[in-house]
Each structure stands twice: as C-alpha cells, then as structure tokens.
Structure 1
Amino acid sequence: MIISGANNLENNKSLVNSLNVFPVPDGDTGTNMSLTMNSAVKEINKSKELEVSAIADSVANGSLMGARGNSGVILSQIFRGFAKALKNVNEIDASALANALTEGSNTAYKAVMKPTEGTILTVIRESAEYGIKIAKNTPNATDFLGKVIEKADETLNRTPDMLPILKQAGVVDAGGKGLVYILKGMHQYLISENIIQLSEAMEEEPEQAAKPVYDDIIYGYCTEFFIKGKDLDPEEFKKKITEIGDSIVVVGDENLIKVHIHTNNPGVIIEKALQLGFLSKIKIDNMREQHEELLISEEDREENQEIKKYGVVAVAMGSGISSIFRDLGANEIIEGGQTMNPSTEDILKSVDRIRAENIIILPNNGNIILAANQAKSLSNKNIIVAPTKSIPQGISALMTLDQEKSPEDNEKKISKAIGDVKTGLITYAVRDSNFDGVDIEEGNFLGIMEGKIGAVGEELIEVIYKVMDAMVDEDASLITLYYGNDIGEEAASKLEQELMQRYPDCDVEMHYGGQPLYYYILSVE
C-alpha cells in the first residue's frame, strides 16, 4: 500500500507542484512530499520484518529522516501517528485504519505551532473524523478507505473557501492534493492487489553538495580581520582593496568593520587597514595548503578539531551565496532553498559534523524551519534554530553572532537582527493569474516583498524600482543585492550605480549570489 501510494504521488508530483499559490517557478510541494515518501519506501525495502506494526515503524522512521519542506514534515508526522496507532497490530481492518488516521491527524497538528486550516492538516483531520464515524458500519478496509478518500477529495475541494489566498490563486491546497494521491495509490493496491507502477524512474534524493576543490587557485591567502576605529567607511575601504583580490566581503559601521578577502598579498591589505585603526582577530589561511589537507580523512580531522563554543549550519542557494556564508563563518553549508529543500537527515548530518557546544541552524527559508526543528528534536546537541526565512535574514543573523555571548543572548540578538531586515525577491510568472485585482500574465516579472506580490511588470528594472521604493524608508541605511545566475556582472554593476543615485542616503552593495530562478534577492536594513 505504501509503495503504491508513493508511486502514485511520484507520477503526479508535477501537478502538485503546479498548485503553488504564487505563479512563480519554485513550486516544490509535490517534489518534497514525493522525496519524503521515497525515503519511507527505502526504509521499508531495508526491513526484513513484514508485520503491520514493523512496516508502520519503517515508514515513520524513513519519512521522518527524509522529510523535506513543511509538507514533507507534516506528512512524516502523519505516518508517525500511524505507527503509534498500529503498534502491536497484526492485521489492518477499518477500525485499525480509522484509529491510524486519527492518530496521524493528532500527531501532525501537535507538530505545527500555529496550524492553518485549509491545508493538508484539514484534509487529514476531516478524513479521520469521517473515518471514525463510518468504521463500524464499513468493516471492510477496502470499502472504508474508498469512502474516506471521497471525503478527503470533498475537503480538498473546499480548501479555497477556508484560505482566501488559495481562492485568489484559483487552486486547491497542494499538500492536501499530495496526500489524496497517496491515499488513492494505497486504495488502488487494495482493490487490485497490484502496485501502481512508476511512469518514470523515481527521482533520487539529491546528495549534499560536495566540498569545493581548489584546482585553480588564483588568490592563495584567505585573509580575515576586524578594524576598530572612528569614522570608518566600509564602502571606501572596499574600494581600496578591490583590485588586490576577490571573494571580498566588507561589512560594518563607523566603529567596526569586518573584512574578508582572498588575496596573494595579505600584508598589503593589512597595511591599508592599519591606516584606519587597530586590528583584531587577524586570520590568514593558505588555501593551497588547505586544499592539500582535503586528502586527510574526515575522521583524522575530527579527532584533532577543537570544540568551539558555536558552530553554524546554513542553508544556501547559489554558489556565490554559499561562499558568503562560508566566509562569514558558517561551518556547514547545505545547498538548497526554495526549489530543493534539504531533508531532516541532511540537516542532522551537518549538525553531527560540527564539534561545538552550541549549534545554530539558519534555514533561510520558511519552508525549511519545520525540518530544522525536527532535526533539533532528534539530536542530543544544544541547537538553536534561528527562524530565518530569507538569505538576507540569514546573513544578518550570522553577522550578529557573538562568540563571547551566551546562547540566550545570541538568540535575542539574532531575533532582533532578523526583524531589522526587509527582503525582496525578483522572479517571473509561470502562468496567468490574478492577485488582489492585479492581472498577471505568464512571463511577467514579479517582485515579492515579505512573502507578498508587490510588483508586476514587463520591464525588469521597473519591477525592481517598485519593490525597492516600497522597502526603502527613512530608517533604511543599507541596501544589498545578490544577483542570480541569469544576470551578468555588467548588468548587476550598472544596477548598483543606478541604485546609488536613486537612494543617496543608503550604502548600496552588490554581490554575486548565483541563485536559480530569482534574478535578484534584495535586502534593506
């Protein structure tokens, strides 16, 4: 039943993905749920026990570790409830199925801090409630599940009436639709005793990105330090060192600047910095030597690695953004984000590789926070999940981290930093739709601010300006842009100059992000 349900979802995941509320190219609910089910199937296939309770445990464990995105985490909790209800059960009848659905619903609701009706949660709850009502009069499991699915379909079709945003988009809830496909696949096996076959090979779980290999290192020394002084100008110092290296990050204020640069002349950089103030926490690493050390086994390195006070796991999309997080001190980078949510297991593996008293996880996406919290609950390490919902929030949180402060103090500092950042995203529409009375045509440029569509247009620059004008207020002092892999350096540089003129009271920084699907990620602080 589980394998048939997983296959049915896999065959229909593109349709589930297309139910994305916003008409943007990052719908991934179907993919996340399918990969979560795929992980459950792999766990089943490893099991040598065929009892109902043993299989239910395998499904719970597999989906728990493979859970991706909010929909995948909720799905894993539904199956966790199934396993609770089916403990010591040898044969499933309608009553056992009704209890499993009920416990699945209860467990899923408990896992979400603020449950939203009109989602997968409503579909599983109303299906379970209906199942309890009809179980006595419908003892045959096949007939019972068929009737429950009819109820699930009916609830799913009402989700737009419960969530206005679904009605606006003209779609039903994607997570609920995915759950219905799973239930229908399970039912089809009961009817025919034939597993629904995959229309194509099942998608493999993406591996974590490999660590970079420096085959062609142009600048050999990774140089980091702080400049302390008065009337400092980060942007001015950045200009002075631009020609002497790459991977440059210069951030700070008039009293403190943090500098990171890859260069062949760290001494020259330090001399220029000394003209401005005194230096602290100077760190110079020979990257060519580090490359050689990659040949040393992970185990040997871990044995010799000192236990730090803090370690950081960051989720990042795009090679440029990954580099920025690494340069700012993140120990583990998980490649992922809007279109490739990491699993609970991915996050746990990264946590396990860090030797630190306290570990901070930066999900940098609202759809990854649940999986991060699930990883926290499965680890025996002291973990803080910072509720970062965007790349700019994650960068700001990491820059705020103070190695000398207590975890409680850092949690407060990070929370404040997250609240001080406004995020904008520039992408394109994948279908015609209407939002808040605004007609959106396929191919239009879209500006998204704080999770809402704020600008629509046929010209990229016009949409960028609309979003920036809405985000920049009298309190704004820093504008940062991360340009994606579809934007050239020349175009990004031109935009940077235009924004400097448009917002003269703000510092403007442009960085290569390399992110897919989003032309620009915008940040205002």
Structure 2
Amino acid sequence: MQKIQADLFKRMMLMGAQNLEQNRAAVDALNVFPVPDGDTGTNMNLTMQAVVKAVNQLSDPTVGSLAAACATGSLMGARGNSGVILSQLFRGFGNYLGHKTEVTALDLAQALEMGVQTVYKAVRKPVEGTMLTVMREAAQTAVTAARRHNELLSTLQALVDQAEKTLAKTPELLPVLKQSGVVDAGGKGLVYIFGGWLAAAQGQELLASPAEPEVATQPLVTTPADDQIEFGYCTEFMILSPNVGEDELHQRLESLGDSLLVVGDADLLKVHVHTNAPGQALQIGLEYGQLTGIKIENMREQHTSLYANTSAEPVQPVKPVGIIAVAVGSGMEEIFLSLGVDAVVTGGQTMNPSTEDLAKAAANVRAERVIILPNNKNIVMAAEQVAEVIDKPICVVPTRSLPQGLSALMAYTSEPSDFEQMVANMERNMAQVKSGQVTVAVRDHNGSAGEIKEGDFIGILENDIIVFGSDLNQVVYDLVAAMVDDEVGLLSLFYGAEVTAEEAENVAEQLAVAFPDLDVELRPGGQPVYHYIVSVE
C-alpha cells in the first residue's frame, strides 16, 4: 500500500495548477455564447495560482498542512463561480485530510468525495452537466478504484478517465452545451487539474513555473475618499501551526487598526491588517507560532503624489450600513460613487474579483454592516463567500447586471429604519429592470437567434442573444425594440470604451425619435467588452 508523502502531494498540487495554466485558453474557449466573456479558464487559473502561492509559502509542510493551504489559498483567491466551486472542493478536501502527515490513495479519493459534498452544500441550485457532475462522478470512481487496490497510480488514472468520460457527456445533460457544440468549461478545467496530479504521480517533472497572472495596474478599489489613510502600513503575515484560534487572534489585533482579516485553521492562520504599529502586530503573532509570508507596505509612501494635498478632515465616522459595488469603466465607477457607494471594486464580465478582493473592500468600509452589489452573475458566489472571511455582517443583494445595481441603489440609505425592508426594496427595484448589452461575436455561433458570424454585433437580453447583425446602430435599435413594452418609461444607455461620445449621441437621438414616449438617458460608461449597456424600467 503506497503512502503519499508531503513532497509528492505538493508536486501533485503544483502540477495540477501548471497543467491548467498551460491550457487556460482552451478552457476559456469553451464558452456557450460567442461573447468575449469566456473566462472560466482564467478564473480557475487565478484560483489555482492562489493555491500555488499558499502551498509554496509553507516551510517543512505535511500533507495535512498542504491540504489546508490549498483550502485557504483557493478560498481567498476564488474568482467567479468556477473559482468558488473549486475553492469549496478544496475546502472539504482539506478538512478531510486534517493533520495527516501521509495519506493513502483511499484517503485521497475520500477527501475528494468530501470536497464534492462540500460543493453541493454550497451551491444552492446544483446543475448537472457542469463541473459539479464531473467532480462527483470522478470522485466516486476514484473511491471505488482505491477500495479495490488502494494504489495511487490506478486511483488517479481512474479519476482522470472518469472525469474525461463525464465531461464528454455533459452536452447530453445540459442542452445549452449541446446547442453550442461544446463540453462544460469548468469540467474541462478539472480534467486538466486531475491530469496534472496523475502526471506528478507518474514521476513527470515540473516545467517552468506558471507565469504570474496579469493584474490591472490601477488600484483595485476606488473610493470617494481614497486620500485619507488613518493607518499607514498594510501588514500581512501567516502563523504556522498556531496555538490560537481565529476569534482570539482577531480580538488581540482589532485595536491596532482596521481592514483586519484573520482566516485559516489549526495549521495556518493568515492575517491582514492596516495599522500604524506593524511591529506590534508581528509581535502578537509571534506569541502564537512561527511567522512566514511577512509583508509590510507603507501605503502613504506608495502614493506620495496622491497624498501631497491630503485634507486634514477627520476620517468618516462609522455608519450603520455601508455598500460596495463591482463595476468596470471610469464612467460606471463615477456613477456608482455619485449614488452613495462607499467603494467600487474593479471587475466585471472578463475580470471577476476574488473573494479576498471583495473582503478587503468590505473591511475598509467604515460601517457596522456592508451590502455588496456584485452586478454580475459570475460574481454572486464569490460575494457570498465574503461573510466567511470577514468579521462584519455582510448582505449580498444579488444584482446580475450594472443596471440592476444602479436600480437597487435607489432604495439604499446608510441609516435605514428597517434594514430588512430596505434590502427587500433594493431586490424589488433590481427585479423591475430589464438589462441588455451589445458586443461583438468572437466566433461563429448557431443558436436560437440564427447563424451568427464572427465579427457580427450581437444584442443580449438577460443572458439570451436575441438580435445580431453587421450594423451596430441597427442592433442597438433592435435590442431596445425587443425590451420596450407599455410599462416602460425610461431608457438608459451607457456607452463603452470603444464608442465615441458623438457616435453615442447619434444613437440616443435616433432612439428618442423612434420611441417618443420614452425618456432616453445617455451616460458614458467607459466599460470594456460591451459597446452599449442598455436598461429599461
């Protein structure tokens, strides 16, 4: 009976991440719609790179501590639905392996099965024909194989073979995949991860380290008072095998500053805090175990020019309810901030922020509780994970588009007399909005709207392509015509980075003439990907 030691386990995790990274584009290409949002591979890759970072930061690890690092790293780095699902798989996986110093093939397979159970508990409405089906059937087959021989190679081979078989049948389980002629993207990503595990067990060597994912150079979070820093040092560290729990350590550190995050388990705790006493924070950490991954950044020094004329006004007092929103595009960010949002986290269709990104933004808001507007269906799950990693009440209003987010904001106040009623009003407002987008098809597609060619403009209404053509203005008109009914009174048009103000004004004028009963509002959104975002209410 072969035992899996820490060195092999670590190589398996690294090669799984590497195999996915090298095939990221292939996973991104498996998009059921021909729109430039095929980001499943990117989201899974960024999540796995967080796993790589967490694993590599451990010194003298055990299998148990490595598995725990996979769980913590993937949770903090989870991006998009696929990334959050992957993080939950690792969460159950890590919980099962616990403090083990070595494991058998059966341990590994049963840990995966525990991970699958954790995923199904986390996903409110599991859909078969997705990565959930792939991981479930693959884990079940691996357990059966391990019970037969308890040998690593045969167990991993069974895992990979079943993952590929299940992936191949996903189009039969999910009609939208069959219609588009593709298999499930998240399931394909799992096949690459599991394939990397098998390659490591077979003795294949790691190639060059996966490239660090590209990240935006602009600040991730934009706030209306970004130039006021009360606590100047961003301090991060991890405690190996801590002899303290999350709650106790949080209590020790909370008086030192703000933006405090303490996450992890009995094998590893990660701390992030903004403080004016980084040395004191480290000293407290040292009381509970060995420190690693220490990082201290002088935030004032980093932005000297920005803070040259810093106001002497006091920091804003803590209010009952704060709110953050996810948006991309200078115009969109300005609109949300002008409507009272405390912080805008940069992100959207092709750039999903991680749970950690959202958690840090929420922690920075000086409020007793924080509402999150994800404004994209692929960000809702990551937003819902924030409550697990931050010591502050979090409420997610599940907005799935930017117009829904703006409409929900109309019912928001920072000092509501009845919080639950305010949230209900926000959700009612968002449900009354119809949202549409216009973009360019990135590949040929034969769907219910007809035969779309690469380069055609396509109009999307609530996730369905309903119109397309070679004339941008005509597609905008056709989309609006499909959205308008007798109950609609306001048409809002947000033009993107690829559209000039003059072009947008011409479109708005044409729509005002064509629909004289509507108030047409034109705003610069500056968003990438979508030439126009349209809403009617």
Please, which of 129, 143, 161 is the counterpart of residue 132 of structure 1? 143
Residue 26 of structure 1, CA deviation = 1.5
- Structure 2 partner of 1:73: 84
Q: Contact (CA 8 Å) 2:445, 2:451: kept in 1 or not?
A: yes
Q: d(CA) in 1 for partners of 2:52 and 2:75?
A: 12
Please, which of 328, 332, 348 is the counterpart of residue 337 of structure 1? 348
- Structure 2 partner of 1:352: 363
- Structure 2 partner of 1:43: 54
Q: d(CA) in 1 for partners of 2:523 and 2:488?
A: 19
The residue identity in structure 2 corresponding to 1:354 is V
Q: d(CA) in 2 for partners of 1:92 and 1:141?
A: 10
1:478-489 mapped onto 2 (5 Å cutoff)? 478-489=490-501
- Structure 2 partner of 1:476: 488
Q: Deviations over 1:14-59 (max 9, x none)?
A: 1100111101112111010000010111111111142000000001
Q: d(CA) in 1 for partners of 2:109 and 2:416?
A: 53
Q: d(CA) in 2 for partners of 1:397 and 1:212?
A: 19
The residue identity in structure 2 corresponding to 1:30 is G
The residue identity in structure 2 corresponding to 1:474 is D
- Structure 2 partner of 1:99: 110
The residue identity in structure 1 corresponding to 2:411 is T
Q: d(CA) in 2 for partners of 1:11 and 1:344?
A: 24
Q: Contact (CA 8 Å) 2:113, 2:139: kept in 1 or not?
A: yes
Unaligned runs of 5+ in 2: 1-11, 226-303
Residue 89 of structure 1, CA deviation = 2.1
Q: Contact (CA 8 Å) 1:185, 1:196: kept in 2 or not?
A: no
Please, which of 466, 476, 479 is the counterpart of residue 478 of structure 2? 466
Q: d(CA) in 2 for partners of 1:405 and 1:478?
A: 29
Please, which of 399, 402, 417 is the counterpart of residue 429 of structure 2? 417
Structure 1 residue 326 corresponds to structure 2 residue 337: yes
The residue identity in structure 1 corresponding to 2:353 is P
Residue 193 of structure 1, CA deviation = 4.6
In structure 2, the CA distance between the partners of 1:212 and 1:308, relative to structure 1 (3 Å rule), is: closer
Please, which of 45, 62, 75 is the counterpart of residue 73 of structure 2? 62
- Structure 1 partner of 2:93: 82
The residue identity in structure 2 corresponding to 1:330 is V
Q: d(CA) in 1 for partners of 2:474 and 2:407?
A: 27
Q: Deviations over 1:236-266 (max 9, x none)?
A: xxxxxxxxxxxxxxxxxxxxxxxxxxxxxxx
Residue 305 of structure 1, CA deviation = 2.6
Residue 61 of structure 1, CA deviation = 0.2
- Structure 1 partner of 2:282: none
User: SS at 2:394's partner residue?
Assistant: strand
Q: d(CA) in 2 for partners of 1:80 and 1:387?
A: 24
The residue identity in structure 1 corresponding to 2:357 is D
Structure 1 residue 175 corresponds to structure 2 residue 186: yes
- Structure 1 partner of 2:458: 446
Residue 293 of structure 1, CA deviation = 8.6
Q: d(CA) in 1 for partners of 2:165 and 2:85?
A: 20
Q: Deviations over 1:459-486 (max 9, x none)?
A: 1122112211111100001000100000
User: SS at 1:114's partner residue?
Assistant: coil
Q: d(CA) in 2 for partners of 1:104 and 1:377?
A: 17
Structure 1 residue 396 corresponds to structure 2 residue 440: no
1:236-315 mapped onto 2 (5 Å cutoff)? 294-295=307-308, 304-315=315-326
- Structure 1 partner of 2:259: none
% identity of equivalent residues: 46
Q: Normalised by the size of structure 1, how large is the TM-score?
A: 0.82
Residue 383 of structure 1, CA deviation = 1.5
User: SS at 2:499's partner residue?
Assistant: coil
The residue identity in structure 1 corresponding to 2:107 is A
Q: d(CA) in 2 for partners of 1:212 and 1:369?
A: 21
1:120-269 mapped onto 2 (5 Å cutoff)? 120-198=131-209, 201-206=211-216, 208-209=219-220, 211=222
Residue 213 of structure 1, CA deviation = 11
- Structure 1 partner of 2:277: none
Structure 1 residue 427 corresponds to structure 2 residue 435: no
Please, which of 495, 502, 505 is the counterpart of residue 514 of structure 2? 502
Q: Deviations over 1:131-188 (max 9, x none)?
A: 2222122321122101110000000000000000000111100001011101111111
Q: d(CA) in 2 for partners of 1:169 and 1:378?
A: 37
Q: d(CA) in 1 for partners of 2:205 and 2:46?
A: 22
Structure 1 residue 118 corresponds to structure 2 residue 129: yes
Q: Deviations over 1:375-406 (max 9, x none)?
A: 12322212110100000000111122133332
The residue identity in structure 2 corresponding to 1:2 is M
Q: d(CA) in 2 for partners of 1:472 and 1:365?
A: 22
Residue 107 of structure 1, CA deviation = 0.5
The residue identity in structure 2 corresponding to 1:110 is K
Q: d(CA) in 2 for partners of 1:174 and 1:113?
A: 20
In structure 2, the CA distance between the partners of 1:204 and 1:431, relative to structure 1 (3 Å rule), is: closer
Q: d(CA) in 2 for partners of 1:46 and 1:295?
A: 36
Unaligned runs of 5+ in 1: 215-290
Please, which of 379, 387, 398 is the counterpart of residue 390 of structure 2? 379
Q: Contact (CA 8 Å) 2:223, 2:343: kept in 1 or not?
A: no
- Structure 1 partner of 2:534: 522
In structure 2, the CA distance between the partners of 1:493 and 1:76, relative to structure 1 (3 Å rule), is: same
Q: d(CA) in 2 for partners of 1:195 and 1:100?
A: 24
Q: d(CA) in 2 for partners of 1:112 and 1:419?
A: 22
Structure 1 residue 455 corresponds to structure 2 residue 467: yes
The number of equivalent residue pairs is: 446
Q: Normalised by the size of structure 2, how large is the TM-score?
A: 0.80
User: SS at 1:400's partner residue?
Assistant: coil
Q: d(CA) in 2 for partners of 1:136 and 1:382?
A: 44
Residue 205 of structure 1, CA deviation = 4.8
